[in-house]
Structure 1
Amino acid sequence: MTSTRDAALSALRELVGRPDARPHDVEFHDGQYEAIEALVEGRRRALVVQRTGWGKSAVYFVATLLLRRRGAGPTVLVSPLLALMRDQISAAERAGVRAVAINSTNAHEWSDVLAQLDRDEVDVLLVSPERLNNPAFREEQLPALVQRIGMLVVDEAHCISDWGHDFRPDYRRLRDLIGEMPADVPVLATTATANSRVVADVAEQLGVGGRGAPDVLTIRGPLARTSLRLGVLRLRDSASRLAWLLSHLDDLPGSGIIYTLTVSAAVDTARLLREHGHDVRAYTGQTDADERAESEGMLKRNEVKALVATSALGMGFDKPDLGFVVHLGAPSSPVAYYQQVGRAGRASENADVLLLPGVEDRDIWHYFATASMPDQERAERVIAALGDAPISTPALEAMVDIRRTPLELLLKVLDVDGAVRRVQGGWVATGQPWVYDAERYERIAAERRAEQQHMLDYEQTAGCRMEFLQRTLDDDTAVPCGRCDNCAGVWFPQEVGADASAQAGESLDRVGVPIEARRAWPTGADRLDVPVKGRIPAEEQAGEGRALARLTDLGWGGALRGIFAAGAADAPVSPELLGACVRVLAGWDWAERPVAVIAMPSRSRPVLVDSLARGIAEIGRLPYLGALAPVNGGPSGQPGGNSVFRLAGLWDRFSADGIEVPPGPVLLVDDLVDSRWTLTVAARTLRRAGATGVLPFALALRG
């Protein structure tokens, strides 16, 4: 009979695309087979902490194949990011592993996935940690899945630990899931970024249930990345950092990632670079899923110089030859920094990593640190507002006066703590007593302050930078790398061109934000009876639009947030806002001036939109043609969200009947832009009614 090791090596050769390789040409790294054997033969629980590129995915894919051949059920792989899921599915296909995903972007495919599971045609089911608390999934699919599960894999397992740099409350539910599973089901947790405190915490989460307190096998290797050349360049301000990028982006090797700390910074930086001839794209958690997938593919094929990204492009993105990683602003800990720079140089001898810290970094760290920990007064306010009847998040937001993003995070924490529960239709209180664990949260806050100081120490150290990062992850094999700017001397240019400085300054001072037009319909729209797919025909597309500002901007963002706050009254546009909009329009470099103004039919702010459209038309001496007419009750559903469902709620819901649309471009006026599908569908309606172009304009862009 074939030994487990021989079978595992055969599967590994399939995974790396060398099925005919001689036995010694493809071999396991130290620790890989040890983990596979523990899972397959011992049915154990294991934690693997190894550097990026070591081959953690090989462990769970090979173990899955061997377990399935022995009659085990499918592996459930909990994966935190869509980019990571896509790469994992591609890697699985290479190894002959049948992998499918259930996540927020493919709800229209869930019935097909569940049917495949019922037919036992799935080897690996990828789910997000958030999906574990989806009421329908939790109550209808999860119980049966737990009884059939062959192995549980928790990828990026540092997210389990609230001591970790990327804690996600939903990951804490895995403790309950593990406790419910049969005792002989193997469990694997993997991460590249865990210090000793996080390792101990994750191991404790894995050792619950089953046979009491099962032993957890921890396999930990050295974290040195010999291909990376690290450096730090301190510049005066944001304009100087943008100017450095304008001057030197083309000097960086190959293609890479430019990380920013906020969504606005990613979008603004990408826009500035594009305007001055650099082929880059923005990539954030607010970017549409189809656009993210397209951008990932373009970067992998070296069709762009860089993606300007938030941490949404962090964990698991796999481009072995990524040439560089630049940070505009420092992450809040060396551990988080190590995780992000680990995207580079995975299968190449050299890659450049440069940090451009900012004076505003500490303020941003403070914001995210306080947002991720529950505030006692806010928590008690939320619990008091909930009862037995479900309340939706938007309704609760208005009741407790907490903005949506921090409210959603607080609800997740309270859910994990057992005080509230997500059900069909919203949230309810469980009635279980909840006590604010002030001591625990203060310990976590103190640890995060210490990590922030470590990051500042990294920026200022005169010693080896790679060794510094390794030691912060408690890697006792750390030695000087001989490559970083401190070991081998400064390797990057430091000067900033005068022209680039002027261009960066103008960009930061400018009023107005582009609204990028959608060019493709979302995949799967036909499943919801929307008869479109592929690229949007050029003759039906909107042009690039403009908004006065983002809701998150420091300038006009404050005034706009007041207008769009929950419960704010619908009122005419103020003279100040109208004047600012006129300045945006005056600076708009359109190819052809619009010939008329048309408004969107607003459900929530008809007075605001009508007054804005009329005001622009009067000042611009353009005819105001009124608003598009809502059809079949107008749009259904909520702004944003899943693209397929959002499009289905807008399809055939606007009409230009009764409007004599003139030939030429028209200015389409709205109040707030979120997913951009409303403008896309409205522009299609106007183009089909005779407009030769549609130029969207809005007061605000969300994000």
Structure 2
Amino acid sequence: MGAMTTATEPATLDLRADAERLLRELAGPDATLREDQWTAIEALVVQRKRALVVQRTGWGKSAVYFISAKLLRARGHGPTVIVSPLLALMRNQVASAERAGVRAATINSGNVTEWDEIHAAIADGTVDVLLVSPERLNNPDFRDQVLPSLAADAGLVVVDEAHCVSDWGHDFRPDYRRIRTLIGELGEGIPVLATTATANDRVVADVSAQLGVGGSETLVLRGGLERESLRLSVVHIDEASKRAAWLGQQLDRLPGSGIIYTLTVSAARDLAGLLSEQGHEVAAYTGQTDPAERESLEADLLENRVKALVATSALGMGFDKPDLGFVVHLGAPSSPISYYQQVGRAGRSTDRAEVVLLPGFEDRQIWSYFASIAFPREHLVRRVIEVLDAERPQSTQALEPLVELSRNRLEMVLKVLDVDGAVKRVRGGWISTGQPWEYDAERYGRLEQARESEQQAMVEYQRTPMCRMEFLRRQLDDPGLSADPQPCGRCDNCAGSAHSAEVDEEAIARARARLDRPGVDLAPRKQWPTGLAKLGVPLSGKITDGPETGRVLGRLSDLGWGQRLRALFDEPDGPVPDAIVDACVKVLAAWDWQQRPTAVMALESATRPQLIASLADRLAQVGRLRNLGTLTRNPERPPVSAANSAYRVAGLTGAWLAPDLGGADGPILLLDDLADTGWTLTMAARELRMAGAPAVLPFALASVS
């Protein structure tokens, strides 16, 4: 690699001049280094230290590591390894690196076909910077074949968006905890840089401890979070469809192009559809958007070919559009840290950017749902360890029917256990290490309390009479704050509201008409979960005796019907309201079934028996259908609470008493109140098919997603 410089070599004026030149190549001819940027570069390149940089979005953290990477390479050191969490972030970083003459490559799930070529380039010394996703760090091939040499020969290791390593962080990712192992295996004198824009005191402390950057030799550079370009506002509108109508009215008045954030995928799709029908150039961008389409949509926003992307948090870290004119939230994120991170996308190179929050009463329910899928209770985690073998690897798919966890939660648990040393990922799956493991109940309890505290702070942000920028900065423990409040003079509380909450009645009517269109397809389950035989259920392969494609009146997360259905489910059980019946009739009238149902049957409901039974009676009358009554639960079978598919199917086997269909002569309309995983309707339909129904058409009032 050439001659290595010593850790004691002093910084020179020539080195700073080289750094300034590289910055101009990276950011333009007028760019100059901030003093803190130079301090960090000098610490990494000359003193070979570890550093933690917590600076606001747009400060120039990426310039620090790209310039350091180039300077270290020129001094004969190995390539810089940057761990980055998102493909979007990697694309922007590679483009930035190339502008500065840095030879960069990425290893991630989107370029599998290039991995061998990249590995060879690393070995040949023709790569200056390697960007890897955190998931790569525990890929067996990468971990065993590439990582050891990188750890020994790297010139610098960078952990970008380092708040993800923290259990306290709003973007916690289990794979990020693997970085702790990487850093522990580094060769002597290899500097480490951790960067983030969004961290309060407890996150900073947690990141420092986990990355080993909390010692006396660590440089911590933490700057103020004031953003003079942002005009923060909160607009209170009491109904989801009115909030959507307000956006339709105001969108063209907002400066430039921007991002509209929603809390759920369905809300992003619904809002994008509404705004598009009104003639606005918008598109939905979510975690379910194809990677290639995501890249295209990002380019459209960067080039101002769209007015806005209607996005979930999937469009977040790393997306860099300096002239982004606005950020609007339809629904509040669950923490001020997350909110600041998202609004920080706006106004980086402009004098003014509009930031508007449109909170909804349903926000808390959505927060509660996401909190419910956090790290599971101890007995469930212990079960994962118990079913693993020390010699024979088992895939996640094979493990799923053995534990009472959904696939996503199981994968999260395995990753955490891997970092903790209790299990190990190998070729073919996972094995047990036999090492003792303790469930850190205290840590998870603190995390739950922190979440609750941050949720309450987000509610207080909506109501506070104080300066909104001051409020956010205090929530993030901004070291630049003075003891006395210093109003920003720009937010709605300081300068008066720039946005009226008034919405044109005609616009509201149009929004309601679009969002209130009842009816969402309910796709049938097509494949039995794997491993049912292990649970004593002789089912496998394709489902041949299940229901047809069904319908739901609306999703609980819908902007239109979601609010009404949530209100209906919150009320005491009672007869179905006329408005719900009318909407159900519209859905049935628009249903393009191959054969019209001849009978209707309700699934017994433990919480809303009157609601669902009365709906069956009303639809039977309107549609001239035979009312077959209720499919009754078997009292000898306990209620099913498992989230895991295999366990749900096993629990639902024999869950109903054999129905008497009285010689069914056509399809049966099967009614339920709430469709969640789809397995209840699948198994109930199977009971009706075995009793003689030629076909089953499932219909539910609501679905979770």
If the length of structure 2 is used for normalisation, what is the TM-score? 0.73
Pairing 1:244–2:217 present:
no
Pairing 1:310–2:321 present:
no
1:335 and 1:483 mapped to 2: Cα distance? Answer: 20
- Pairwise CA distance, 1:372: 2.5
Please, which runs of 5 or more residues in structure 2 have no aligned partner? 1-11, 533-538, 554-583, 595-699
Length, aligned pairs only: 547
Q: Is the 8 A contact 1:511 1:549 kept in 2?
A: no
1:505 and 1:377 mapped to 2: Cα distance? Answer: 46
Q: 2:430 aligns with which of 417, 427, 432?
A: 427
2:51 and 2:353 mapped to 1: Cα distance? Answer: 32
Higher mean C-alpha displacement, 419-428 vs 318-327: 419-428
1:251 and 1:448 mapped to 2: Cα distance? Answer: 35
Residues 401 and 96 of structure 1, relative CA distance in 2, 3 Å threshold: same
**3-state SS of paired residue (2:287):** coil
Q: Structure 1, residues 503-552: CA drift from partner, whole Å, max 9, x if none?
A: 33344433556xxxxxxxxxxxxxxxxxxxxxxxxxxxxxxxxxx147xx
Q: Is the 8 A contact 1:50 1:221 kept in 2?
A: yes
Q: Structure 1, residues 457-499: CA drift from partner, whole Å, max 9, x if none?
A: 1111001000111111111433211010100011013122323
Counterpart AA for 2:412: L
**3-state SS of paired residue (1:352):** strand
1:579 and 1:313 mapped to 2: Cα distance? Answer: 29
Q: Which residue of 2 aligns with 1:488?
A: 495
Pairing 1:475–2:478 present:
yes
Q: Structure 1, residues 282-305: CA drift from partner, whole Å, max 9, x if none?
A: 111221111110000000000011
Please tell me whether Structure 1 or Structure 2 has the larger radius of gyration of its CA atoms: 2
**3-state SS of paired residue (2:53):** strand
- Pairwise CA distance, 1:561: 6.7
- Pairwise CA distance, 1:445: 1.0
Pairing 1:76–2:81 present:
yes
Q: Is the 8 A contact 1:203 1:216 kept in 2?
A: no
Q: Which residue of 1 aligns with 2:675?
A: none
Q: 2:160 aligns with which of 155, 158, 163?
A: 155
Counterpart AA for 2:108: N
Counterpart AA for 1:203: S
Q: Which residue of 1 aligns with 2:696?
A: none
1:423 and 1:585 mapped to 2: Cα distance? Answer: 51
Residues 497 and 561 of structure 1, relative CA distance in 2, 3 Å threshold: farther
Q: How does 1:470-619 map to 2 (within 5 A)?
A: 470-478=473-481, 479-511=486-518, 548-549=521-522, 560=524, 570-572=543-545, 574=547, 577=550
Pairing 1:175–2:186 present:
no
- Pairwise CA distance, 1:502: 2.8
Counterpart AA for 2:452: R
Residues 43 and 267 of structure 1, relative CA distance in 2, 3 Å threshold: same
Q: Is the 8 A contact 2:325 2:353 kept in 1?
A: yes
Q: Which residue of 2 aligns with 1:643?
A: none
Q: Which residue of 1 aligns with 2:63?
A: 58
Higher mean C-alpha displacement, 339-348 vs 170-179: 170-179
Q: 1:119 aligns with which of 112, 124, 147?
A: 124
Q: Which residue of 1 aligns with 2:441?
A: 438
Counterpart AA for 1:317: F
2:287 and 2:545 mapped to 1: Cα distance? Answer: 33
Q: Which residue of 1 aligns with 2:204?
A: 199
Q: Is the 8 A contact 2:168 2:203 kept in 1?
A: yes
2:280 and 2:404 mapped to 1: Cα distance? Answer: 42
1:453 and 1:251 mapped to 2: Cα distance? Answer: 32
Q: Which residue of 1 aligns with 2:270?
A: 268
**3-state SS of paired residue (2:337):** helix
If the length of structure 1 is used for normalisation, what is the TM-score? 0.73
Q: How does 1:347-426 map to 2 (within 5 A)?
A: 347-388=349-390, 389-426=392-429
Q: Which residue of 1 aligns with 2:455?
A: 452
Counterpart AA for 1:192: A
Q: Which residue of 2 aligns with 1:257?
A: 259
Q: Which residue of 1 aligns with 2:683?
A: none
1:503 and 1:375 mapped to 2: Cα distance? Answer: 46
**3-state SS of paired residue (1:3):** helix
2:425 and 2:585 mapped to 1: Cα distance? Answer: 45
1:127 and 1:582 mapped to 2: Cα distance? Answer: 53
Q: Is the 8 A contact 1:53 1:346 kept in 2?
A: yes
1:578 and 1:244 mapped to 2: Cα distance? Answer: 30
Q: CA RMSD in A?
A: 3.0
1:578 and 1:454 mapped to 2: Cα distance? Answer: 39
Q: How does 1:226-237 map to 2 (within 5 A)?
A: 226-237=228-239
1:579 and 1:7 mapped to 2: Cα distance? Answer: 63
Q: 1:9 aligns with which of 9, 14, 20?
A: 20
Q: Is the 8 A contact 2:106 2:130 kept in 1?
A: yes
Q: Structure 1, residues 638-664: CA drift from partner, whole Å, max 9, x if none?
A: xxxxxxxxxxxxxxxxxxxxxxxxxxx
1:320 and 1:578 mapped to 2: Cα distance? Answer: 44
Please, which runs of 5 or more residues in structure 1 have no aligned partner? 19-24, 514-547, 551-559, 595-698
- Pairwise CA distance, 1:355: 0.6
2:113 and 2:590 mapped to 1: Cα distance? Answer: 42
Q: Is the 8 A contact 1:332 1:451 kept in 2?
A: yes
Residues 503 and 186 of structure 1, relative CA distance in 2, 3 Å threshold: same
1:119 and 1:204 mapped to 2: Cα distance? Answer: 35
Higher mean C-alpha displacement, 457-466 vs 374-383: 374-383
2:16 and 2:185 mapped to 1: Cα distance? Answer: 31
Counterpart AA for 1:165: H
1:248 and 1:572 mapped to 2: Cα distance? Answer: 50
- Pairwise CA distance, 1:82: 0.9
Q: Is the 8 A contact 1:207 1:214 kept in 2?
A: no
- Pairwise CA distance, 1:275: 2.5
Q: Structure 1, residues 5-62: CA drift from partner, whole Å, max 9, x if none?
A: 11111111111132xxxxxx53211300000000000000001111111111110011
Q: Structure 1, residues 154-177: CA drift from partner, whole Å, max 9, x if none?
A: 101111111122111111111111
Q: Is the 8 A contact 1:255 1:306 kept in 2?
A: yes
Q: 1:141 aligns with which of 143, 146, 150?
A: 146
Q: How does 1:95-114 map to 2 (within 5 A)?
A: 95-114=100-119
Q: How does 1:287-306 map to 2 (within 5 A)?
A: 287-306=289-308
Residues 509 and 92 of structure 1, relative CA distance in 2, 3 Å threshold: same
Q: Which residue of 2 aligns with 1:187?
A: 192
Residues 247 and 205 of structure 1, relative CA distance in 2, 3 Å threshold: same
Q: Which residue of 1 aligns with 2:344?
A: 342
1:440 and 1:293 mapped to 2: Cα distance? Answer: 38
1:244 and 1:76 mapped to 2: Cα distance? Answer: 46
2:161 and 2:354 mapped to 1: Cα distance? Answer: 24
Q: Is the 8 A contact 1:206 1:216 kept in 2?
A: no
Q: Which residue of 2 aligns with 1:629?
A: none
Counterpart AA for 2:383: R
- Pairwise CA distance, 1:148: 1.7
Counterpart AA for 2:168: W
Q: Which residue of 1 aligns with 2:638?
A: none
Residues 123 and 187 of structure 1, relative CA distance in 2, 3 Å threshold: same
**3-state SS of paired residue (1:481):** coil
Counterpart AA for 1:431: G
Q: Is the 8 A contact 2:223 2:479 kept in 1?
A: no
Q: Is the 8 A contact 2:233 2:492 kept in 1?
A: yes
Counterpart AA for 2:375: M
**3-state SS of paired residue (1:313):** coil
Q: Which residue of 2 aligns with 1:277?
A: 279
Counterpart AA for 2:146: Q
Counterpart AA for 2:123: D
Q: Structure 1, residues 93-141: CA drift from partner, whole Å, max 9, x if none?
A: 1111111110011111111211211221111100011110111111121
